[in-house]
Amino acid sequence: MGIEDKRKHLRVRVSIPAEIYDVLNDKTMVGRIIDISAGGVSMVTREELPLHTPLSLSFEFESIKYKHISADVVREIKKGNESYIGIAFFNPDISEQEQIDGLVRRVRSRNERGMQKGNI
């Protein structure tokens, strides 16, 4: 059973700038979301964020602004100067979660249509 089999939510690759607030250290930093689902995001940042670090994320996805979403670091992989971080939304607002899921599905559908037309 691969990692994809364990995922509860459909995810889509993106490139979205995000503001990350490290709650414990009262520190704000920036990163780039590289994939998103209703359950969380994968990000790239130059900062190190240890497992279980509580965060607050702010970003814009499909013209909708999300402010101060509570989240938790669930994975960190260092590659050179960059950290690839898996972040799970913590106690997500159900309406926000459903909204993000709908946006993910719309983006995925749009991407698939683009590939069928030969656009990449």
Q: What is the pLDDT of residues 9-48, one digit of tens each?
A: 899 999 999 999 999 999 999 999 999 999 999 999 998 8
Judged by average pLDDT, the poorest of 1-5, 75-79, 84-88, 108-112 is 1-5
What CATH number has the domain bearing residue 85?
2.40.10.220
User: What is d(CA 41, CA 71) in angstroms, rounded to the nearest whole number?
Assistant: 9
Domains in the chain: how many in total?
1
What average pLDDT does range 55-63 have in this prediction? 96
Q: Which two tokens stand for residue 41?
A: 């995001």
At residue 92, the pLDDT reads: 82
Domain that residue 43 falls in: 3-116
Spatial contact of 69 and 95, defined as CB atoms under 8 Å apart: no
At residue 93, the pLDDT reads: 84
> What percent of the chain clears pLDDT 70, i.e. is strictly above it?
89
Residue 24 forms beta bridges with which residues? none
What are the angstrom distances between the C-alpha of 28 and each of 31, 38, 47, 69?
10, 23, 10, 14
